[in-house]
Amino acid sequence: MYAYKDQPDGVFPSVCSLDCPDQCGLLVHKKNGRIVKVEGDPNHPVTKGSICNKVRNIKERLYDEKRLSYPMKRVGKKGESRFERITWEEALETITSRWKELIETDGSESILPYSYYGNMGVLNSESMDRRFFYRLGATQLDRKICQSAGEAGYRYTMGDSKGTNPEDTVHAKLIIFWGVNAVSTNMHQVVLAQKARKKGAKIVVIDVHQNQTGKMADWFIPIKPGTDAALALGMMHILFAEHLVDEDFLREYTVGFEELREHVVQYDPETVTQITGVSVDDLYTLARLYGTTSPSFIRIGNGLQHHDNGGMCIRTISCLPALTGQWLKRGGGAIKGNAGYLAFNSDALQRPDFLQNKHTRRINMNQIGRALTELKQPVKSMFVYSTNPAVVAPEGNKVRKGLEREDLFLVVHDLFLTETAKYADIVLPASSSYENTDFFTSYWHHFVQIQQPVIGPYGESKSNVEVFRLLAEKMGFEEPEFRETDEEMIDRALDYPENPFMKHINYTSLTEKQFIRADVQPIIPGKLLTPSGKIELYSEKMKQDGFPPLPTYVPIKQDEKLPYVFVPAPNHNFLNSTFSNNEKHIQLEKEARLYMNVEDAKASGIEDGDQVRVWNSRGECRLTVVVGSQVLPGVVVSQGLWADEPGTKQLVNSLTPDRLSDMGGGAVFFSGRVNVAKG
């Protein structure tokens, strides 16, 4: 039997590697050795053959003529995009000799890895690379750009990243999409919600922007940015006042419900309306709907946590299902993230024990601009892979200033010459996930999946795992772990008795079946990983950590006296900045827009379709305005992380603050303020 990649024609199973909760099963069609079509695998029990438009068009990206196919070195100025082809041997030799020098002169902490999950494959995102940088003694990166604030908040209440099984949510009678643009970012949750709707369920969407998800709702509730905790507390106020809580459940499975009942008295409907902009009537309707409908399910989005108060906001919302006893109802409860169910042996994969100096410094990836421009002991070399900080990290102008530093030796490994790669000294071509071996664990559904190479590597491109194997060899690292094969690493990661749900999953069973359901048991509200084992409405741990022990509304910062809160959210046809450099996807998305309320537009003499300048003390952008009632007055929302084509100014992260969220060291992309004017 030939490997898939060696068969010129046929249809082969695959998995989507993008950073998306759905993690779809795919079927890849090949003709004459090339991918001609990608579709959903109808046999996948959750994603069932439907996939998004982005990936239906992925072959345009895989075979885009701009794709990198050989290593290059810089011959122009930083950022000028002038490069010359070199061999892999020269590239690896240049990198490792420079690093050996730096370790001598400045110490190993002068080298910084910078990566995220451009490819969600476990091997390619967090295995050989981690071993390598631990062994090197490089500065450690805190990878907190995405879900860390919310994860920290959810953990205080529920103990772990575990929630409802999404497949069960078809049984829910009320589904709340809260701060999640699910039509674009978790489409199969929408499919499940629509199935539930056919059986009589109601779909409520709470968002600062009536985007495609808001438009599909039975009821859309617009809210002021960063005020959702107050809304949840107002709901709790009414639930307690009107005896709509499940007292038996609260007594048996929670800590602190008596304290919470007292505490929420202050969040009366008038006060909450003032804070959130949700009317008193709507607040009553929502609370009563939630208090009288069961099973009810809340999909807690990422949008909420990208605020100054993001951790506390998600901590607060995650208390709601306990009030009405939802955790014992099939399809009831909430999902913030479900990664906890599919835990594998990450220590065996990453080998943190290779790091000798346990006090090695750490840098939070959200503050990379500061780190590159302000540190007393500077970062002298950075290796960027699977992420595009020049576009996705906050305080973009500071990031670019750092990347421009003449004395920064920058290596970028990517499929494309991204905005970040333009500043590189050495550019390395990356293979796509379709060219690699890897395994995948969803952070939403309960399936583990395998990727076997469907095509050979594009040009001279190499996977992350392979690049770090080669770098280790050149550095002279002799540990056998640097020579492990992909198959050995998969088995090592899945050999993890601590997670009984995945006992039956290993490399062999995955290659036989392609996707395997973990044997997940629903969470038991008395046996959680919180200190008490119960759902902690009152958290002593939070008190020790310096937070209010009860759920609390804390306003976001008014960082500048500017009229609008700016919410630069993702869009439908890109995935973060991925696809922002592919013609097909740009055409689908058309342009970088800014949504503005009619009243604000009128007051500033702005009309629909105008080009506007959006600015604050950190930078400026030029976007095309859509005037309407999709956002409340005082709020402007953009969509998509666009690259800067010549003559454009659309890097929205030029405007976002790099301060950190209340907990978890998260990013606060959506809490900054801006001004907007025509021109």
* Site residues, ligand SF4 (CB under 6 A): 16, 18, 20, 22-24, 51-52, 54-55, 187
Partner touching 675 among ligand SF4, Mo ion, ligand MGD, none, CB below 5 to 8 Å by kind: none
Binding of Mo ion by 260 (CB under 5 A): no
User: Min. distance of Cβ 138 from ligand MGD in angstroms?
Assistant: 17
d(CA 78, CA 224): 41
Q: Contact letters (x/-) for Mo ion, 138-167, by CB under 5 A? A: --------x---------------------
Taking a C-beta distance cutoff of 8 angstroms, is the pair 33, 51 a contact? no
DSSP for 354-395, please give it.
G---TT--EEEGGGHHHHHHH-SS---EEEEES--HHHHSSS
Per CB under 6 A, does 387 bind ligand MGD? yes
Dihedral sign, CA of 116, 122, 126, 129?
Answer: negative
What whole-number distance in Å separates Cα of residue 515 and Cα of residue 201?
30
User: Do residues 177 and 294 make contact, with C-beta atoms less than 8 angstroms apart?
Assistant: no
Q: Per DSSP, what are the bridge partners of residue 98?
A: none
Residue 51 touches which member of ligand SF4, ligand MGD, Mo ion, none, C-beta under 5-8 Å by kind:
ligand SF4
Residue 380 partner contact from ligand SF4, ligand MGD, Mo ion, none using kind-dependent CB cut-offs of 5 to 8 Å: none
Q: Does 470 bind ligand MGD (CB under 6 A)?
A: no
Binding of residue 413 to ligand MGD (CB under 6 A)? yes
Give bridge partners of residue 449 from the DSSP assignment. 440, 515
DSSP H helices, 480-555, are: 486-494, 507-513, 540-544
Residue 293 CA, chain-centre distance (Å), reads: 31
Which option in Mo ion, ligand SF4, ligand MGD, none does residue 169 bind, with CB closer than 5 to 8 A by kind? none
Q: How far is the CB of 54 from ligand SF4 (least distance, A)?
A: 5
Which structure tokens are listed for 408?
Answer: 């920064």
- CA gap 176, 336 in Å, rounded: 12
Q: Is 537 in the site for Mo ion (CB under 5 A)?
A: no
Considering beta carbons, is residue 20 or 58 the nearer one to ligand MGD? 20
Residue whose CB is less far from ligand MGD, 304 or 516:
304
- Return the residues of window 419-438 that contact ligand MGD according to CB under 6 A: 430, 433
Cβ density class 163-198: b for 16+ within 10 Å, e for less: bbbbebbbbbbbbbbbbbbbbbbbbbbbbbbeebbe
Cβ proximity to ligand MGD, 27 vs 430, nearer residue = 430
Q: Give CA torsion, residues 648, 649, 651, 654, to 10 deg.
A: 160
Least Å distance, CB 300 to Mo ion, is: 14
Instruction: Find the binding residues for ligand MGD in span 538-597 (CB under 6 A).
Output: 567-572, 574-578
Q: Single out the residue of 286, 537, 652, 676 in contact with ligand MGD (rule: CB under 6 A).
A: 652
The only residue of 15, 20, 230, 317 in contact with ligand MGD, by rule CB under 6 A: 20
Residue closest to 480 by CA, chosen among 128, 103, 91:
128
Q: Quote the least distance from Cβ 667 to ligand MGD, whole Å.
A: 7
List helix spans (H) across 18-164.
53-56, 58-62, 88-106, 122-126, 128-136, 148-158
- Rounded Cα distance between 250 and 326, Å, is 11
For residue 144, the tally of other CB atoms under 10 A from its CB is 21
- C-beta closer to ligand SF4: residue 51 or 428: 51
Residues 6 or more apart whose Cβ sits within 8 Å of residue 30 = 7, 8, 9, 10, 11, 12, 36, 454, 455
Which does residue 223 bind out of ligand MGD, Mo ion, ligand SF4, none, counting CB within 5 to 8 angstroms by kind?
Answer: ligand MGD
> Which residue, judged by CB position, is nearest to Mo ion in the bound state?
146
**CA within 13 Å, CB half, 674:** 31
The contacts of residue 360 (CB under 8 Å, 6+ apart) are: 109, 137, 138, 139, 140
DSSP code for 328: G
Q: Choosing among ligand SF4, Mo ion, ligand MGD, none, which partner's interface includes residue 414 (Cβ < 5 to 8 Å by kind)?
A: ligand MGD
Q: Which of 86, 241 has the CB closer to ligand MGD?
A: 86
Q: Select the binding partner of residue 209 from Mo ion, ligand MGD, ligand SF4, none (C-beta < 5 to 8 A, by kind).
A: ligand MGD
Q: Does 15 bind ligand MGD (CB under 6 A)?
A: no
Question: How many CA within 13 A on the CB side of residue 529?
Answer: 11
Q: Which of 578, 521, 564 is nearest to 674 (CA)?
A: 564
Structure tokens at 183: 């039509």
Q: Which does 207 bind (CB under 5 to 8 A by kind): ligand SF4, ligand MGD, Mo ion, none?
A: ligand MGD
**Contact partner at residue 653 from ligand MGD, Mo ion, ligand SF4, none, CB < 5 to 8 Å by partner kind:** ligand MGD
User: Which residues inside 610-649 make contact with Mo ion, applying CB under 5 A?
Assistant: none
Interacting residue with ligand MGD among 169, 324, 367, 418 (CB under 6 A): 418
Least distance (Å) between residue 23 CB and ligand SF4:
5
658 makes contact with ligand MGD (CB under 6 A) = no
Pick what 226 binds: ligand SF4, ligand MGD, Mo ion, none; C-beta below 5 to 8 Å, kind-dependent. ligand MGD
Question: Which does residue 103 touch among Mo ion, ligand MGD, ligand SF4, none (CB within 5 to 8 A, set by kind)?
Answer: none
Q: How many residues bind to Mo ion according to rule CB under 5 A?
A: 1
CB proximity list for 382: less than 8 A, separation 6 or greater: 111, 112, 113, 114, 372, 408, 409, 410, 411
CB of 180 to ligand MGD, least distance (A): 4
Token pair, residue 172, equals 């829910």
Token digits of residue 335? 């999902």
Residue number, 146 or 424, with CB nearest to Mo ion:
146
185 is an interface residue for ligand MGD by CB under 6 A: yes
Question: Which parts of this chain interact with Mo ion (CB under 5 A)?
Answer: 146
Binding site for ligand MGD (CB under 6 A): 19-20, 116-119, 124, 145-146, 178-181, 184-185, 206-209, 211, 223, 225-226, 228, 301-304, 307, 385-388, 392, 413-416, 418, 430, 433, 464, 567-572, 574-578, 637, 641, 652-653, 656, 669-670
